[in-house]
């Protein structure tokens, strides 16, 4: 891109946005904070006119897009701090509307006031933004019952690279997460909620990766009515100040206790696991966001992959072979798990 086109674009954006166009540092990247959908459209129209790409930023938990990080070519960074608006469900509505800059944890906290919660959220929820997770799709807390994120998005409002506004259904979110990017920007979404007034946690410990993986597969077949199911290897358990074993944990609405207890006890028992007491289960559940906190200056680099459940055992064995790899998995109703791996020394 010719430097003059970039300079012309910056001048046009400065004329339209005034001091909401800034520089990350003197001589650094230009960034813009639109204050609503119309401004996001205007920003896209202007940058498209000069063929300058926009680079949307979330909280940087997906790695590869931090405010200080490199951009693929000279583009304008877009922050969504001014678009964190939330419209909570009224009456019998089961959807919440949120702006792209809203944090998943804040959104879930706000829903709690109405005895509701998000159907799914990422384990990076204290930092990750609505726009950032929608653009990367994935699965997370709640996926055992509700599946992938895209199955829980009624619609997303996006601004195309040319500045057109479109509503897309959740299943089309995959088009946003193509490696080359779509150039579209998420400016809002309607997300599925669930009743969440009385969840109970569960946790079990195992001596080996094989026994843990067999339990996960068994529960995926017998399908007790859990909301969430996840697991940790001993390296990550230790980092969370939990006992250094393979841990299985999750949560379910307390009213489903009867349907959960039998299949859970059977799967854990036949694979030589040990169910933990309620106090320990709460402790494991309370650490589900580690190592992400709302205030941490940065998050460690993570490798993120979705694998069939039949590959969980091998993935855990590979981590064990290397000794310093911390691994966690979230199980989806689709028979897949999202594996996140971190190097221990970065935690």
Nearer to ligand FAD, 268 or 288 (CB): 288
Distances 248 to 74, 227, 233, 242, 296 between C-alpha atoms, Å: 45, 14, 9, 12, 26
44 binds ligand FAD (CB under 6 A): no
> Residues 100-126, buried b or exposed e (16+ Cβ, 10 A)?
bbbbbbbbbebbeebebbbbbbbbbbb
215 binds ligand FAD (CB under 6 A): no
Rounded to 5°, the CA angle 56-95-160 comes to 30
Which two structure tokens, joined as six digits, stand for 262?
Answer: 């039998």
Nearer to ligand FAD, 55 or 118 (CB): 55
224 binds ligand FAD (CB under 6 A): no
136 binds ligand FAD (CB under 6 A): yes
Measured from the Cβ of residue 342, the count of other Cβ atoms closer than 10 Å reads: 21
Nearer to ligand FAD, 220 or 330 (CB): 330
Measured from the Cβ of residue 286, the count of other Cβ atoms closer than 10 Å reads: 11
| In the complex, least distance from residue 178 CB atom to ligand FAD, rounded to whole angstroms | 10
Selected from 52, 118, 135, 212, the binder of ligand FAD by CB under 6 A is 135
Number of residues that bind ligand FAD (CB under 6 A): 34
The C-alpha atoms of residue 68 and residue 77 are separated, in whole angstroms, by 10
| In the complex, least distance from residue 177 CB atom to ligand FAD, rounded to whole angstroms | 8
Query: Directed axis angle between helix 3-17 and helix 37-49, to 10°?
Result: 150
299 binds ligand FAD (CB under 6 A): yes
Chain mean position to CA 275: 28
162 binds ligand FAD (CB under 6 A): no
Selected from 13, 57, 209, 331, the binder of ligand FAD by CB under 6 A is 57
| In the complex, least distance from residue 34 CB atom to ligand FAD, rounded to whole angstroms | 10
User: Do residues 203 and 195 make contact, with C-beta atoms less than 8 angstroms apart?
Assistant: no
Q: Which stretch binds ligand FAD (CB under 6 A): 44-52, 116-124, 206-214, 263-271?
A: 116-124
For 18, half-sphere exposure in the C-beta direction (CA atoms, 13 angstrom radius) is 1
346 binds ligand FAD (CB under 6 A): no
Q: Which residues bind ligand FAD (CB under 6 A)?
A: 55-62, 65, 80, 100, 122-124, 128-129, 131-133, 135-136, 138-140, 185-186, 291-292, 299, 302, 304, 330, 338, 340
């Amino acid at each position: 891109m010719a430097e003059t086109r970039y300079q012309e674009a910056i001048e046009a954006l400065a004329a339209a946005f005034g001091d909401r166009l800034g520089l990350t540092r003197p001589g650094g990247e230009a960034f813009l904070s639109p204050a609503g959908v119309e401004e996001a459209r205007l920003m896209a129209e202007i940058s498209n006119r000069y063929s300058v790409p926009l680079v949307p930023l979330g909280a940087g938990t997906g790695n590869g897009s931090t405010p200080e990080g490199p951009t693929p070519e000279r583009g304008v960074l877009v922050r969504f701090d001014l678009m964190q608006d939330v419209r909570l469900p009224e009456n019998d509505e089961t959807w919440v509307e949120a702006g792209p800059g809203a944090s998943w944890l804040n959104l879930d906290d706000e829903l709690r006031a109405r005895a509701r919660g998000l159907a799914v959220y990422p384990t990076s929820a204290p930092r990750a933004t609505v726009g950032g997770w929608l653009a990367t799709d994935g699965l997370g807390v709640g996926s055992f019952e509700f599946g992938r994120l895209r199955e829980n998005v009624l619609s997303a409002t996006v601004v195309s690279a040319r500045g057109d506004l479109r509503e897309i259904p959740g299943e089309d979110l995959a088009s946003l997460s193509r490696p080359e990017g779509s150039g579209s920007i998420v400016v809002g979404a309607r997300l599925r909620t669930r009743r969440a007034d009385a969840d109970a946690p569960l946790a079990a410990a195992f001596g080996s990766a094989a026994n843990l993986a067999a339990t996960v597969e068994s529960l995926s077949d017998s399908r007790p009515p859990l909301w969430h199911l996840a697991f940790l290897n001993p390296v990550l358990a230790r980092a969370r100040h939990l006992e250094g074993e393979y841990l299985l944990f999750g949560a379910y609405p307390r009213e489903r206790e009867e349907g959960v207890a039998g299949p859970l006890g059977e799967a854990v028992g036949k694979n030589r696991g040990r169910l933990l007491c309620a106090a320990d289960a709460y402790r494991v559940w309370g650490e589900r966001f580690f190592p992400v906190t709302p205030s941490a200056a940065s998050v460690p680099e993570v490798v993120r992959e979705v694998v069939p459940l039949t590959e969980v055992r091998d993935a855990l064995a590979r981590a064990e072979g290397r000794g310093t790899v911390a691994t966690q998995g979230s199980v989806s109703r689709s028979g897949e798990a999202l594996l996140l791996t971190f190097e221990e020394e970065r935690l």
